[in-house]
């Protein structure tokens, strides 16, 4: 039982791997011993993330650009990842976006974009990588959900985001049921709000509405949590390494919350 958290010899694909949380997760998986391929749509962002992870770890990291909502792109991503890193056994879905609008005025085109980016893409990657994992008799799928898959916000704005994250939770459970017989675990993590590129505009607006600076807004958000601070992207790393590692081989269909205690009191 000495290698419970060791990913040496394993290869992982992190979709959204140039994003705020995804890049931290990619780096954490590299540090745990895995060979990592990151993916998202913008090649320039991927190149920057690869260089930063390499500078931080001294390890080679690979990338393949593509749109995770597009099945043909995801087929290409899998082929490219195997060509660069060998047999893949870990898939992290860290893609998505967040747009806040009051339900009464929600732009349905934006709602549909959120469904496609935040849930359809998770299904597409799980379908394509699931076949590869089934062939290999082993695999780990880790989906980025959110505390907003479990608890709504008091104020308006989160109809799209909450709906898609609730869907991620149920997709995770159903896939766990279908893929378990092939030796594949499927779990999700539900972080609390974290300062990443996805949240910059949202934080600005909320701070403006509250008449405080962004720094003050973030400080107040953290102060309301049992752990008394805001989340950082690194707060998700330990949970994801656990879900990627042999330590979690009998854990499937679960949503784990590295959320500073929000769901305990929410």
Ligand X SMILES: NC(=O)c1ccc[n+]([C@@H]2O[C@H](COP(=O)([O-])OP(=O)(O)OC[C@H]3O[C@@H](n4cnc5c(N)ncnc54)[C@H](OP(=O)(O)O)[C@@H]3O)[C@@H](O)[C@H]2O)c1
Residues that bind ligand X (CB under 6 A): 15-16, 18-22, 40-42, 45, 67-69, 94-98, 117, 121, 144, 146, 191, 193-194, 196-199
Least distance from ligand X to the Cβ atom of residue 51, Å: 15
- The residues, ordered by sequence, that sit 6+ positions from 131 with a Cβ below 8 Å of its Cβ are none
**161 is known as an active-site residue:** yes
Given the residues 161, 217, 242, 257, the one annotated as active site: 161
CB nearer to ligand X: pick between 4 and 56: 56
Least distance from ligand X to the Cβ atom of residue 146, Å: 4
- The residues, ordered by sequence, that sit 6+ positions from 108 with a Cβ below 8 Å of its Cβ are none
C-alpha of 111 from chain center: 20
Q: Which long-range contacts (CB under 8 A, 24 or more apart) does 174-180 make?
A: 175/126, 175/130, 175/141, 176/252, 176/253, 176/254, 177/253, 179/130, 179/133, 179/134, 179/139, 179/141, 180/252, 180/253
Burial (CB count within 10 angstroms: exposed 0-12, middle 13-18, buried 19+), residue 6:
middle
Least distance from ligand X to the Cβ atom of residue 7, Å: 21
Least distance from ligand X to the Cβ atom of residue 8, Å: 26
Which residue minimizes CB distance to ligand X? 19
Which residues are catalytically annotated?
161
């Amino acid at each position: 039982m000495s290698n419970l958290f060791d990913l040496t010899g394993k290869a992982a694909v992190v979709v959204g791997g140039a994003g705020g949380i995804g890049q931290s997760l990619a780096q954490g998986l590299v540090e745990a011993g895995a060979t990592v391929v990151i993916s998202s749509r913008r090649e320039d962002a991927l190149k920057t993330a690869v260089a930063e992870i390499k500078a931080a770890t001294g390890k080679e990291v690979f990338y393949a650009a593509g749109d995770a909502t597009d099945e043909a792109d995801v087929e290409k991503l899998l082929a490219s990842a195997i060509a660069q890193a060998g047999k893949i056994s870990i898939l992290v879905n860290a893609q998505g976006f967040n747009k806040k609008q009051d339900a009464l005025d929600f732009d349905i085109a934006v709602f549909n974009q959120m469904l496609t980016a935040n849930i359809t893409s998770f299904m597409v990657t799980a379908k394509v990588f699931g076949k590869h994992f089934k062939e290999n008799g082993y695999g780990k799928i880790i989906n980025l959900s959110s505390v907003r898959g479990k608890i709504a916000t008091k104020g308006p704005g989160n109809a799209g985001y909450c709906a898609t994250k609730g869907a991620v939770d149920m997709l995770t459970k159903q896939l766990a049921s279908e893929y378990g017989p092939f030796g594949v675990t499927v779990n999700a993590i539900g972080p609390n709000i974290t300062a990443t590129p996805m949240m910059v505009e949202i934080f600005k607006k909320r701070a403006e509405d509250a008449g405080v600076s962004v720094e003050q807004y973030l400080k107040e958000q953290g102060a309301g949590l049992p752990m008394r601070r805001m989340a950082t992207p690194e707060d998700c790393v330990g949970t994801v390494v656990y879900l990627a590692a042999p330590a979690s081989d009998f854990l499937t269909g679960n949503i784990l919350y590295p959320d500073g205690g929000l769901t305990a009191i929410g």
